[in-house]
């Protein structure tokens, strides 16, 4: 049994990091004795020809993709290619989007055979095992499938004991490319979300009861991740600070082992205290992200956020006091939004900035599965489109009675312009020799990220990284200069800038040089042992 897992394309603006969910699925399949391969289209160029070659060489029995709402159309397009190339391959999709619109998805997309609903690790193993037997899908909990002209959805699966899961199979994921991009790497210490926010699917996807991993196992994984060369670890729990004793136990174990690693987490402003924050800082936490959503009290009540503005200010002040960077996120376009409430939220963001925090905005995207989508008639909200590719939260796809999409888009565009202007000002300061070292590093790191990402997604190294030398083996520096000569016109950089960025990439062990029988080949160092 061979299983191909696909991580669908996601725009660079989303800040790509190594796919954690795919790695969990891969680990569960491997533990069951199933051969697994991952195609990560976030950092890999894609074509029908490439898929044809992969299917021919790997010969998968099943192809499965994950997806969120924004990536669903890319994911189903790849699934369609698989069926076009080999109709006998079983296709499956999981993730929050299809979990909450399973019947509609199967009715609309005949190329998709099965949907795994909710947590997928146990489901996908049972599915793979049943695929080798009678394919009696009705015996498997937590899936949707066609039965004649109708879609059947089996009973929900019990939530998983998170300590029973194997560690994510990160060896299947091209970590080397992500490390070259200098992104963070993610892990979890728990699953579940006790909060009831009407715009979020976390609670429905992984349950209201938080299930905690053993702190010893958590820190074992942190210690392993600290050896991989990533700048930081993102703890991706919905709410890392949900349970004080769990949070403190992990921090104490990090401190006891004297583990030096930078990490970030998500928290609510009503689940942190000075004691917790001091402990998190001592254990290496550098940044905490707080979802505040709005500065209007009535909107906060309507969306069931359950926080107050004084608690927000207190949390930010405590973070600053202990030396943790607080970041606050807001959602614009929530039910009840008016021009006045938008001004309230923007003004409150500036207050937090003056306190020493940072903040950012997203526009509301009513994802399937959320109360704000499924019970839309209850709220002062008009959903403007079901084009899932537009559900990226950067442009308006909803309106309230008092706020039209143009007003929301104007704020978003103004925010984007301010960021672009700031970057351009920093570039001008660098050119004049007036920039701080920190500003210069931020610009260099940003431009390096964009440069490398474009090399990856455009297949530039694969298309131009090999040539016949026909002479004595070249030194690494000569081979790198030749590579710069071959690609710089495709990079929107000068030849010298391209060479500088390539040299940095080699120093970071992002590229490998192979010389064989007069042929020189540069290849991505995708996998980290």
Work out whether the CA dihedral 237, 186, 23, 199 comes out positive or negative: positive
Average pLDDT over residues 153-160: 96
Q: How many residues does the chain have?
A: 529
The bridge status of strand 519-524 relative to strand 511-516 is antiparallel
Residues 340 and 389 sit within 8 Å (Cβ to Cβ): no
3-class DSSP assignment, residue 3: strand
pLDDT at 529 over 70: no
Residues 474 and 444 sit within 8 Å (Cβ to Cβ): no
Average pLDDT over residues 206-219: 96
DSSP H or E segment with residue 126: helix 121-131
Q: Any residues with CB less than 8 A from the CB of 319 and at least 6 apart, and which?
A: 272, 277, 288, 325, 326, 357
- The confidence band for 245, taking pLDDT boundaries of 50, 70 and 90, is very high
Average pLDDT over residues 144-167: 96
CA–CA separation, 450 vs 456, rounded Å? Answer: 10
pLDDT at 474 over 80: no
pLDDT at 76 over 90: yes
Of 243, 245, 251, 287, nearest to 266 (Cα)?
287
pLDDT at 95: 96
Of 244, 243, 221, 253, nearest to 234 (Cα)?
221
**Cα 52-56-58 angle, rounded to 5 deg:** 115
pLDDT at 439 over 70: yes
CA atoms within 13 A on the CB side of 508: 24
pLDDT at 490: 95
* Token pair of 268 as six digits: 């609510």
In which residue are the tokens 């299917």 written?
55
* Token pair of 158 as six digits: 């019990």
Average pLDDT over residues 195-212: 92
Q: Chain-wide mean pLDDT for the chain?
A: 95
pLDDT at 528: 85
Average pLDDT over residues 62-70: 97
pLDDT at 111 over 90: yes
pLDDT digits (tens, 9 = 90+) for 325-362: 999 999 999 999 999 999 999 999 999 999 999 999 99
pLDDT digits (tens, 9 = 90+) for 7-52: 999 988 888 899 999 999 999 999 999 999 999 999 999 999 999 9
Bin 268: left if φ > 0, else alpha if -120 < ψ < 50, else beta.
beta
Average pLDDT over residues 495-519: 93
Q: Any residues with CB less than 8 A from the CB of 522 and at least 6 apart, and which?
A: 461, 465, 466, 479, 480, 483, 511, 512, 513, 514
CA–CA separation, 497 vs 501, rounded Å? Answer: 6
pLDDT at 469: 84
CA–CA separation, 203 vs 198, rounded Å? Answer: 10
Q: What percent of the chain has pLDDT over 70?
A: 99
Decide yes or no: CATH 3.30.2320.50 for domain 2-153.
no
Residues 519 and 467 sit within 8 Å (Cβ to Cβ): yes
Work out whether the CA dihedral 153, 157, 159, 163 comes out positive or negative: negative
Q: Which residue intervals of the chain bear CATH 3.20.20.70?
A: 184-403
State which fold the 184-403 domain adopts.
TIM Barrel (3.20.20)
- Bridge partners, residue 116, by sequence: 143
pTM: 0.95
pLDDT at 472 over 90: no
**Cα 414-304-99 angle, rounded to 5 deg:** 85
Average pLDDT over residues 157-180: 96
Of 74, 374, 328, 71, nearest to 204 (Cα)?
374
* Token pair of 109 as six digits: 């997309």
pLDDT at 520 over 80: yes
The CA-to-CA distance between both ends of the chain, in Å, stands at: 24
Q: Report helix, strand and coil shares of the chain as percent, to nearest 5.
A: 45, 15, 35
pLDDT at 13: 81
Of 171, 169, 164, nearest to 119 (Cα)?
164
Average pLDDT over residues 509-514: 94
CA–CA separation, 296 vs 344, rounded Å? Answer: 7
CA–CA separation, 273 vs 250, rounded Å? Answer: 16
Q: Any residues with CB less than 8 A from the CB of 196 and at least 6 apart, and which?
A: 203, 304, 306
pLDDT at 263 over 70: yes
pLDDT at 278 over 70: yes
CA–CA separation, 411 vs 341, rounded Å? Answer: 13
* Token pair of 70 as six digits: 């924004």
pLDDT at 377 over 90: no
pLDDT at 382 over 90: yes
Which alpha helices (DSSP H) does 323-404 contain, by range? 339-355, 371-374
Average pLDDT over residues 151-174: 97
Average pLDDT over residues 142-158: 96
pLDDT at 321 over 90: yes
* Token pair of 327 as six digits: 């970041």
pLDDT at 473: 64
Q: Which residue intervals of the chain bear CATH 3.40.50.280?
A: 2-153
């Amino acid at each position: 049994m061979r299983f191909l897992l696909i991580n669908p394309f996601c725009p660079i603006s989303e800040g790509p990091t190594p796919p954690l969910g795919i790695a969990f699925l891969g680990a569960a399949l491997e533990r069951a004795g199933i051969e697994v391969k991952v195609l990560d289209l976030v950092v890999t160029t894609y074509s029908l020809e490439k898929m044809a070659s992969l299917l021919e060489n790997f010969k998968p029995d099943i192809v499965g993709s994950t997806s969120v709402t924004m990536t669903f159309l890319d994911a189903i397009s790849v699934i369609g290619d698989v069926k076009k190339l080999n109709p006998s391959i079983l296709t499956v999709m999981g993730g929050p989007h299809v979990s909450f619109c399973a019947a509609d998805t199967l009715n609309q997309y005949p190329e998709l055979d099965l949907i795994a609903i909710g947590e997928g690790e146990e489901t996908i193993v049972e599915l793979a095992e049943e695929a080798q037997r009678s394919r009696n899908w009705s015996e498997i909990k937590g899936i949707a499938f066609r039965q004649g002209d109708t879609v059947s959805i089996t009973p929900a699966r019990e939530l998983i004991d998170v300590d029973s899961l194997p560690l994510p199979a990160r060896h299947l994921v091209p970590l080397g490319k992500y490390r070259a991009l200098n992104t963070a790497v993610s892990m979890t210490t728990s699953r579940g979300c006790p909060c009831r926010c009407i715009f979020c699917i976390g609670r429905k996807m992984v349950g209201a009861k938080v299930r905690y991993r053993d702190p010893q196992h958590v820190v074992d994984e942190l210690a392993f991740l600290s050896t991989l060369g990533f700048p930081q670890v993102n703890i991706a729990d919905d709410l890392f600070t949900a349970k004080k004793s769990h949070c403190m136990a992990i921090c104490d174990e990090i401190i006891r082992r004297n583990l030096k690693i930078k990490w970030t987490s998500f928290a609510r402003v009503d689940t942190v205290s000075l004691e917790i924050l001091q402990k998190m800082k001592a254990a290496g936490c550098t940044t905490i992200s707080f979802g505040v959503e709005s500065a209007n009290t009535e909107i906060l009540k309507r969306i069931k956020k359950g926080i107050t503005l004084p608690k927000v200010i207190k949390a930010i002040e405590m973070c600053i006091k202990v030396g943790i960077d607080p970041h606050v996120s807001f959602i614009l376009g929530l039910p009840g939004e008016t021009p006045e409430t938008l001004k309230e939220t923007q003004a409150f963001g500036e207050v937090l900035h003056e306190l020493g925090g940072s903040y950012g905005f997203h526009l509301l995207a009513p994802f399937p599965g959320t109360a704000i989508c499924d019970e839309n008639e209850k709220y002062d909200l008009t959903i403007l489109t079901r084009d899932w590719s537009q559900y990226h939260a950067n442009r308006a796809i909803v309106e309230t009675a008092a706020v039209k999409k143009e007003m929301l888009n104007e704020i978003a565009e103004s925010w984007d312009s301010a960021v672009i202007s700031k970057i351009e000002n920093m570039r001008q300061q660098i050119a004049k020799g007036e920039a701080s070292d920190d500003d210069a590093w931020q610009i260099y790191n940003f431009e390096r990220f964009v440069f490398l990402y474009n090399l990856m997604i455009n297949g530039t190294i694969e298309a131009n990284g090999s040539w016949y030398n026909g002479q004595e083996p070249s030194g690494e520096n000569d081979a790198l200069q030749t590579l710069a000569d071959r690609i710089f016109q495709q990079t929107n950089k000068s030849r010298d800038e391209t060479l500088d960025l390539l040299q940095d990439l080699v120093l970071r062990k992002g590229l490998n040089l192979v010389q064989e029988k007069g042929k020189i080949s540069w290849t991505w160092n995708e996998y980290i042992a």
